[in-house]
Chain A
């Protein structure tokens, strides 16, 4: 076990993994990381076969140290970070040694940053997950203090980096039909898909509100029975304003939903910073189903995309200590006889 000391934490620091699936009939949403892709990226960079529990930072960072050397990585929102003056790049693994302080500052782009350690956050699980689920009263925001990490199984494993396509500044979200799509007039749907929205300041792990110019998106849904929700649903509240549901949304709700953002685009919705422009593009059910990918498949793809980090010799202070030339060869050792 490795002890992680949190010297200071911004508000909204929680432990998150992929959540608890299969309890929606009991009123418990899956929950888990707001940006699930960020956990898969961290797993690929740290050589985890399945994403371990990490720290989710909602906009603000914190200061951290460990009592044993461990690899770590920052994924998701772009947050400036350094260890004792050395810059730590996003989506690039690094080693934190005892006595050093990792300083993660506020998000420059995106909403949710992740700090993942090679051995993961350990400690008590509930229903197979360590995710804080604040709506359900499970877990809490983390403050200054200590938590347990699994020891890094291979601290000398090479450092890695991953090129990540931008998902931090809004863009187009693909929307599949949902149970109530047809309850909106075709003209209202057309206007919805032609509108440019801005992410409102109001957002949390349950969902994000969108602002727009123009008429409200009304529908004919008086006395609608409450029905199951799913993350990605674009719900129209009573005043006809859209709200995109995220991982910790309620399990049932009475407001109608115009459609569902597909899983592949949900990280882009979760990460859009306040004021980011978002648009929606309608896709068919068949297209949506064809775009489904398991998280194991996504992780396998990311593992292939991970590259070894090659440091510039200029950045290596103790270059003279490295053995740069070794084992001169005849050049044919690898050839078979």
Chain B
């Protein structure tokens, strides 16, 4: 199988920002390049490194550095080969209990061409990665599901899903930290909240984390809700 060509471009984002775009569209290959570059970019004189699905935002402090002074070092990092990369090893793995009983589960399974039973199996047996955090505070984009989960968003927005809603589209899952409207289909829910504004550590996830969703019975939901992290735990990997 041939890999899509990944050609990084250096682009401006405001007067203090640079976007390194590896591809215009989402793909596991672009995301792997994003993950690897995000590590390498730590050597640059920048104040913020934020990965998105196919690009990385770098912010610099114009009081200290000029764009023209950063770009040569950036080009040097980007000079290598970016096509056909795989994800770097995860540094930690989250285990997140979920109940897969969402109102959009049946329709999503049909669109993916699998039975509901197989859909549940596929959503929980694949190790996912936090590909990006954004849209709302602490909201993770998890990917990637197998190719047949490249299902379109809904035509219309669902006006409200509750916090903890797990929704699917385009080979990815999103776990809503707070209630939201969404164009994705809800397949389930988690008691885990990746954003806890009142906690010392408000943001639990970081881009690159591995995530395993673990199906639990509806009868266990109440006990999950009573635990601090909604039954989730984080495994540190050497």
- List the interface of chain A (C-beta within 8 A of B): 22-28, 126-127, 135-138, 176-179, 221, 223-228, 230-233, 250-253, 260, 262-263, 285, 288-289, 291-292, 294
Contacts and interface: CB of A to CB of B under 8 A. Distances in A.
A176 B12 contact: yes
B207 A225 contact: no
Interface string B125-155: 0000000111111110100000000000000
A22 B47 contact: yes
B137 A27 contact: yes
A228 B197 CA distance: 22
Nearest to A266: B14
Pick from A138, A178, A223, A225 the residue with the most CB of B within 10 Å.
A225
6 contacts: A24-B134, A27-B203, A28-B138, A179-B13, A252-B134, A260-B13
A28 B19 CA distance: 18
A226 to B, nearest CB: 6
A141 B24 CA distance: 39
Contact of B133 (A25, A135, A262, A291): A25
B54 A285 contact: no
A26 B135 CA distance: 9
Interface string B42-83: 000001111111110101001100110000000000000000
Nearest to B207: A25
A294 B12 contact: no
Given A26-B203, A28-B137, A289 B25 contact: no
If over half of B's interface residues share one DSSP class (helix, strand or loop), that class is named, otherwise mixed; here it is loop
Given A24-B59, A27-B139, A28-B137, 10 more contacts: A24-B57, A136-B137, A179-B19, A221-B24, A224-B25, A228-B55, A230-B17, A251-B134, A252-B132, A260-B12
B26 interface: yes
A225 B62 contact: no
Contact of A250 (B21, B54, B134, B141): B134
B53 to A, nearest CB: 4
Interface residues of B, number: 45
Interface of A is mostly: loop
Nearest to A264: B15
Contacts of B141: 226
A137 B163 CA distance: 12
A292 B62 contact: yes
Interface string B97-129: 000000000000000000000000000000000
B87 interface: no
A252 B51 CA distance: 10
A228 B50 contact: yes
Given A223-B24, A228-B19, A289-B62, A263 B14 contact: yes
B54 A225 contact: yes
Contact of B14 (A127, A135, A253, A260): A260
A281 B189 CA distance: 47
B15 A176 contact: yes
Contact of A137 (B12, B13, B25, B178): B178
A228 B178 contact: no
Given A25-B49, A25-B207, A292 B16 contact: yes
Interface in B186-238: 195, 197, 202-203, 206-207
A66 to B, nearest CB: 30
Nearest to A253: B135
A291 B48 contact: no
A234 to B, nearest CB: 12
Contact of B15 (A179, A223, A253, A292): A292
B23 interface: yes
A227 B197 contact: no
Interface in B2-37: 11-17, 19, 21, 23-26, 30
A227 B12 contact: no
A137 B62 contact: no
B139 A228 contact: no
A294 B197 contact: no
A4 B160 CA distance: 37
Contacts of B55: 179, 225, 227-228
